[in-house]
């Protein structure tokens, strides 16, 4: 029998509610060991306190974490009609991290095992609840850092790849059935299946798979992030603007012109679009020596940019860059 796994399923940080999820054959036993229900709230076992878990249910109760009790909302989803196709319980508790940690610790003490990253989705895949492409979509969704990545992950999660492959699988199955029938039965029993019809079915599936492969290769090999350069004269405030946008003191800021001699880059979300934001050395045609080399590098970067943001010192006497 596989382990019954448990994990906190809600994001870290304070919240009104937090969620602990269990999956496995002992999920009902663990819930019954920790949860008490009020009289009349749900069917109970012989001692009149523990919930009797059978069909799908949702009920309120009290969770005993070994050091105290806290209110809980239990969602009970017996297999195979659950995400993992195993018995699954979700415990909706107070969202304070210490209380969630105490509740999880109690479940582990009673025999649950801490779930590894992605293990619920892995069990869903192994039990046939989702295919491999949807499992990949779950991984990409939780790691998405932009709206574009989120949309691509949702398309994969909703079965976009499977929807393209399923008709091709059916065509190949039809071709196989026709070929086997032609081999196993006399011509008078099944009729002759022209070879060109079989070839047409197989070639159509082959071409469809080739197009699907091209689409997936293009999707996985995402192009580099569009590059946005902050450019302008030395000491125009590019590094200060860069630090403000990325939310960290990444670039050195000083009143001395020419402090930035190399470029700095960071991912930056611009209204839902992920870009590479680059701080560059100030443009100074009169620069010499190492400063001249920095100018050349800045010019090379400009050629690779999707957008250049010209930075001007608003406090300059002449208003120029």
Check residue 188 and give its pLDDT: 54
C-alpha 104/C-alpha 10 separation (Å) is 12
Residue 278 lies in a domain: yes
Residue 122 lies in a domain: no
Instruction: List, in sequence order, every beta strand (DSSP E) within the chain.
Output: 5-8, 17-23, 35-36, 57-64, 69-77, 88-94, 113-114, 227-232, 264-270, 273-279, 307-311
Residue 142 lies in a domain: no
Residues 247, 181 share a domain? no
Residues 210, 231 share a domain? no
pLDDT 10s digit of each residue in the chain, 321 long? 689 999 999 988 888 999 999 999 999 999 989 998 865 444 444 454 455 577 788 889 999 999 999 999 999 999 899 999 999 999 999 999 999 999 999 999 999 999 998 899 899 989 988 877 778 778 777 777 666 667 777 776 776 677 778 888 888 888 888 888 777 665 555 556 677 888 888 888 888 888 878 766 655 555 567 888 888 887 777 888 888 887 777 665 555 444 555 678 888 877 777 788 888 877 766 554 555 666 677 777 787 788 888 888 776 655 444
Calculate the CA dihedral of residues 312, 313, 315, 319 and round it to 10 degrees: -40
Quick one: angle between helices 147-157 and 160-184, nearest 10?
A: 30
Residue 139 lies in a domain: no
Check residue 115 and give its pLDDT: 95
C-alpha 50/C-alpha 39 separation (Å) is 10
The half-sphere exposure of 169 on its side-chain side, counting CA atoms within 13 A, is 6
Residue 126 lies in a domain: no
Residue 321 lies in a domain: no
- Asked if 7 and 20 touch (Cβ cutoff 8 Å), the reply is yes
The total of structural domains in the chain comes to 3
Residues 112, 10 share a domain? yes
Domain harbouring 62, CATH code: 3.30.1360.120
Domain that includes residue 67, residue range: 5-116
Residues 100, 60 share a domain? yes
């Amino acid at each position: 029998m596989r382990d019954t796994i448990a994990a906190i399923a809600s994001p870290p940080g304070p919240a009104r509610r937090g969620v602990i999820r269990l999956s496995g054959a002992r999920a009902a036993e663990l819930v019954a060991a920790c949860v008490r229900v009020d009289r009349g709230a749900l069917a109970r076992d012989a001692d009149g306190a523990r919930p009797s878990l059978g069909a799908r249910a949702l009920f309120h109760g009290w969770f005993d974490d070994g050091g105290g009790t806290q209110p809980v909302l239990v969602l009970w989803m017996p297999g195979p009609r659950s995400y993992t196709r195993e018995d699954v319980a979700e415990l909706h508790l107070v969202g304070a991290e210490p209380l969630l940690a105490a509740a999880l610790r109690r479940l582990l003490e009673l025999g649950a095992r801490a779930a590894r990253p992605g293990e619920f989705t892995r069990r869903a895949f192994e039990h046939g609840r989702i295919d491999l492409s949807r499992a990949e979509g779950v991984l990409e969704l939780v790691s998405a850092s932009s709206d574009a990545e989120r949309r691509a992950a949702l398309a994969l999660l909703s079965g976009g790849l499977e929807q393209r492959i399923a008709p091709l699988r059916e065509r190949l199955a039809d071709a196989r059935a026709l070929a086997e029938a032609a081999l196993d039965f006399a011509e008078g029993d099944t009729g002759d299946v022209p070879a060109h019809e079989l070839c047409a079915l197989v070639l159509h599936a082959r071409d469809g798979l080739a197009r699907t492969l091209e689409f997936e290769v293009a999707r996985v090999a995402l192009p580099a992030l569009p590059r946005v350069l902050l450019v302008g004269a030395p000491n125009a405030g590019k590094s200060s603007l860069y630090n403000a946008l990325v939310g960290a003191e990444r670039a050195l800021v000083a009143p001395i012109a020419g402090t930035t001699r190399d470029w700095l880059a960071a991912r930056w979300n611009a209204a839902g679009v992920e870009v590479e934001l680059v701080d560059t050395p100030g443009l100074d045609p009169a620069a010499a020596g190492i400063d001249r080399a920095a100018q050349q590098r800045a010019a090379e970067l400009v050629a690779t940019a999707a957008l250049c943001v010209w930075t001007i010192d608003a406090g300059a006497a002449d208003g120029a860059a």
